[in-house]
Amino acid sequence: MTVLSLHRQGQDYRVDMAQAIDLSIPVQFDSSSLRAFGAPIAQARPLKVGSFIGDVNQQGSCNCSTYSLTPHSNGTHTECVGHITSEAMSINSIAPTSLLFAALISITPEKVQCSFSSDDRLITRELLQHQFKEFDHCDAVIVRTPIDAHVMNSSDVNKCPAYFSEDAMAWLASLGIDHLLTDLPSVDRMNDNGLLLAHRAFWGMPQGSTVLAQAKRSHATITEFIHVPIDVANGNYLLNLQVAPLNGDASPSRPLLYPLILTDS
């Protein structure tokens, strides 16, 4: 067993590294595959090269598959500002390599009148501010909603899960929160006419801009489609944000959460 001892803001903690809480939803290569935005189901096909076939069940010498998936829509993923810029930027180049202090909060989105609909449910700045009164400054925030991500397994782009308001994301950015994790399929509205206001607010991008140099927070990341078990309490944690090393604007990821245990000084 590996136990870390930490000192932060005048308090001592220990962390049992064997007690990781996995927040990821794995990519499934069948009909149970999580998907959104009309994306196809993730698929795995045996590699075929000449007489070789990568499937033991088809008399192949080993299993060797070619995967087809859409990181933004299939399973838990982490993305960078390259998601909205004309210049290429890789999540692999900025994904955090150190452990992060994180706060887990639970929020019930509320119905808010907006330009899209009177029935949209939003995570607002006020909802975030109410929850943050209880937590220390952190590098990352994990937002859990009552909506189980598994229930939102739909290719119907007309369905509208909850999302973050532009003001809420700008406020998180103003606090210096560099990494946001949520169980929602996107921080923005499922169909917002391509505005992506919440993404832009978090990365400090002007509306309509696709110029990477105009992003004030190009180091920040957004992780979507996580799943936080219901028995995991709100509070402060240590976060290991593991991201698959793909040179794209988004990549499948595996956030691991570790409870911080307060000890006597």
**CATH code assigned at 145:** 3.50.30.50
The pLDDT of residue 221 is: 98
Give the rounded distance of the alpha carbon of 144 from its chain centre: 11
Structure tokens at 92: 């692999």
Assigned domain for 58 exists: no
Assigned domain for 117 exists: yes
Q: For the beta carbon of residue 212, count every other beta carbon within 10 angstroms.
A: 17
Would you write out the chain's pLDDT as a tens digit for each of its 265 residues? 688 898 887 888 999 999 999 999 999 898 877 788 888 999 999 999 999 999 999 999 999 999 999 999 999 999 999 999 999 999 999 999 999 999 999 999 998 877 777 688 999 999 999 988 766 679 999 999 986 544 455 444 446 789 999 999 999 999 999 999 999 999 999 888 899 999 999 999 999 999 999 999 999 999 999 999 999 999 999 999 999 999 999 999 999 999 998 887 5
Coil, strand or helix at 56: helix
Are 30 and 41 in contact, with CB atoms under 8 Å apart? yes
The pLDDT of residue 137 is: 77
159 has which bridge partners? none
Domain containing 250: what range?
3-40+71-263
Coil, strand or helix at 205: coil
Q: For the beta carbon of residue 93, count every other beta carbon within 10 angstroms.
A: 11
* Total structural domains within the chain: 1
The pLDDT of residue 112 is: 82
**Phi, psi for 129 (deg, rounded to 5):** -60, -35
Assigned domain for 159 exists: yes
d(CA 86, CA 82): 8
| Residue 1 DSSP class | -
Q: In what order do the strands lie in the sheet with 110-111?
A: 110-111, 121-123, 163-164
Assigned domain for 35 exists: yes
All residues at 6 or more sequence positions from 97 whose CB lies less than 8 Å from its CB, including other chains: none
Assigned domain for 64 exists: no
Check: pTM over 0.75? Answer yes or no: yes
Assigned domain for 240 exists: yes
The pLDDT of residue 150 is: 45
Are 257 and 239 in contact, with CB atoms under 8 Å apart? yes
Assigned domain for 87 exists: yes
Assigned domain for 57 exists: no
